[in-house]
Structure 1
């Protein structure tokens, strides 16, 4: 079977430390895309509405995601969307037992979606490999917690504090402004002692952005990818897809897969998704089309007969 040539790949910026060890797993982000499954231990998460709020349901959700092909699970205990604040103690009580149980059962990459230093510290001690901060290191103490560990960090663009409304966001050039914000927060991470090989970035689709902003980010991801760090996109079932298609939350899978694939074609290397088996198939197909992986087998029109 012929391996794809590097010359088959679309020209993309060099990724800082493209070969990365996250937990016990190794990724080559120059040639592969990781699928991150979403598992929220919250009663009011925007998509699953509490389906994995119970501890056993959350653990099962993580292990089911791995069986469906996910490389990574992202565990959250507090939604970003406006609403009552979740105390840090309660957030930790939601996520830490899930991290402990999943780590005992699996070597899958585990990230915890939190902006709180104490929750991050406890999660890392429990076995989390990554802290996924939707505030982009708004709290410098979180950067220090990550720097003092072996964990990686996802730096996400957002403008408001979690659970806080942000009415009518405006941008002159959303892609460039998001990239500028992420560049400044990368400097904050580096200054705190987080090495570049442990930094991942996320443009934050729909976070303090309207549908037109998220669509613009999806078609002009270049300024973010150009920063040179592995880019994560969290497009799954979000409102920009629902508003684009006039689709309720349960009918956004196809739109989510298209958005993820177009971002991958522009250089995204981690996709955060709810519908795992469908997402894995879409990602592997995108990798094959882009010359990043060989087909699982070759038979059609490969011999003297076309069976």
Structure 2
């Protein structure tokens, strides 16, 4: 290894003095264009950090002399869109929902359903799924099985007021299923019997011998809400037990859990603080048009 620095013939730069097995390392300078570009980037970076948000702090980054932020830009764009839609949103907020639901060819209906889809994907998809097919504990909005009714008015009440939420309004959906096992309202054999009876209404019970006894338990304790034939009561949000649609699962263990500990599904009130009147109406029309919406009485 050699440490001697020298300029080789035909070159205007010297070696570093390092040589390994006859291979020498040259100390060739960077091209001028690269250096000038590098220096320009440094100057540009300093100017950018002064003009725009750049340096992180404890609570926030430096604001920059221009006061620009992508969040502020988005807010301006949203405000511009809101301003352009102000007239049609005002019209939607005052429209007759029942009439509008059937007027599918109007510009207002098309706007409402498109806007409602955006509202749904932003505020509702977390529970009901992006395709509105629901999940365990969250209703499927594509079918025609409704706990509280599937007309435009019923859906409006659900979205605006919510389900089982404290409110000062005279009418709120606050029904509650008793916890028959946890609160010792029924003994275990009675719960097992009524679970088998409920399963028999729409399928095969686990123990057919318990069905007759379960029908008596059902009539004494459950028919007041679910009706004598098990078809439910929408006024109370009591589900229909005779179909094969289950919110929390329809196998023996799931139904037993429901009877023993009860269910208390809730939905937040979206009207007011979360959504404007126009947004509530838009998402109502969107949900009503998904396939399970019912005609108003």
TM-score range, shorter chain: under 0.3
TM-score with structure 2 setting the length: 0.25
Larger radius of gyration: 2
Q: TM-score, normalised by structure 1?
A: 0.24
- The structure where helix makes up a greater share of residues is 2
Greater fraction of residues in strand: 1
